[in-house]
């Protein structure tokens, strides 16, 4: 990482609380963070400290209680819901610990799904989905259903799905947490290659020390804030 890189995401005084009846449960408490374009950033911290909550807010899957999330200086939570959903679909890719593939659809259909929502040509989308499956090493597995794939293969399909709309940012929540060592290493190599070749920004929540040792920068969350 170099200091000359452009800031892509700026998070300012972010707060998030949940409620159990009338009891407030604060999770993020005035968090500030900048993420550079093309950066590989790892977010670490103890369980329950708010790492996944932060990722969900960066990905617009959840809204903050207070504070701002700016992409290229645009406060995305000022967007109407329909525009926010469009932004999420086009600009952000998600990879979760548990792949969340739809079991009734094939690998190819799972990859294509997000792009079919706005596509003018289904044929073009499926060609791109086939190319992505080839890229992640699953060219021969497109007609298989998730139940017919190994854990590592399912996670590769999830990565291909995250890339179908060519997002600027890929958010990964414990992407190797449910895999054996060999599969984990293959997934990490794939993510690093993607970053190197495409220049996409990766924000990765992890407990995996191997990941933390290979990224551009590591930030730690403690008590709902980034520790510098």
pLDDT in tens, the chain (228 residues): 444 578 899 999 999 988 888 888 888 888 999 999 989 899 988 887 888 899 999 999 889 999 999 999 899 999 999 899 888 888 888 887 666 788 898 999 898 887 877 666 788 888 889 888 888 888 888 899 988 988 888 888 888 888 888 888 989 888 777 667 777 777 788 788 888 888 889 998 887 777 778 888 999 888 888 876
185 part of a folded domain: yes
13 part of a folded domain: no
179 part of a folded domain: yes
- The backbone torsions φ and ψ at residue 217, rounded to the nearest 5 degrees and listed phi first, read -155, 145
Record the tokens describing residue 192, joined without a space: 């690093």
Q: What CATH number does the domain containing 89 carry?
A: 3.40.50.300
212 part of a folded domain: yes
Rg (CA), the chain: 18
pLDDT of the residue at 3: 45
Question: Structurally, how many domains does the chain consist of?
Answer: 1
pLDDT of the residue at 119: 62
- Domain containing 187 equals 38-63+81-221
Buried b (16+ CB within 10 A) or exposed e, 4-38: eeeebbbbeebebeeeeeeeeeebbeebebebbeb
What is the bridge-based pairing of β-strands 66-71 and 7-20? antiparallel
**What is the C-alpha separation between 108 and 125, in angstroms, rounded?**
10
228 part of a folded domain: no
pTM listed for this prediction: 0.83
128 part of a folded domain: yes
pLDDT of the residue at 2: 42
**What is the C-alpha separation between 36 and 31, in angstroms, rounded?**
17
144 part of a folded domain: yes
pLDDT of the residue at 35: 93
pLDDT of the residue at 4: 53
């Amino acid at each position: 990482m170099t200091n000359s890189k452009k800031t892509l995401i700026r998070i300012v005084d972010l707060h998030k609380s949940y409620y159990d009846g009338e009891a407030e449960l604060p999770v993020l408490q005035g968090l500030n963070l900048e993420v550079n374009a093309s950066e590989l950033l790892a977010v670490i911290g103890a369980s329950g400290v708010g790492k996944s909550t932060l990722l969900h807010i960066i990905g617009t899957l959840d809204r903050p209680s207070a504070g701002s999330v700016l992409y290229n200086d645009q406060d995305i939570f000022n967007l109407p819901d329909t525009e926010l959903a469009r932004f999420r679909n086009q600009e952000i890719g998600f990879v979760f610990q548990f792949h969340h593939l739809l079991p009734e659809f094939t690998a190819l259909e799972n990859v294509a799904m997000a792009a079919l929502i706005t596509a003018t040509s289904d044929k073009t989308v499926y060609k791109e989905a086939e190319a992505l499956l080839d890229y992640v090493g699953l060219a021969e597995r497109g007609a298989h259903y998730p139940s017919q794939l190994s854990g590592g293969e399912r996670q590769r399909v999830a990565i291909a799905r995250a890339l179908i709309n060519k997002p600027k940012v890929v958010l990964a929540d414990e992407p190797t947490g449910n895999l054996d060592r060999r599969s984990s290493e293959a997934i990490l190599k794939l993510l690093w290659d993607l970053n190197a070749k495409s220049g996409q920004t990766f924000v990765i929540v992890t407990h995996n020390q191997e990941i933390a040792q290979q990224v551009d920068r590591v930030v730690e969350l403690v008590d709902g804030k980034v520790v510098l």
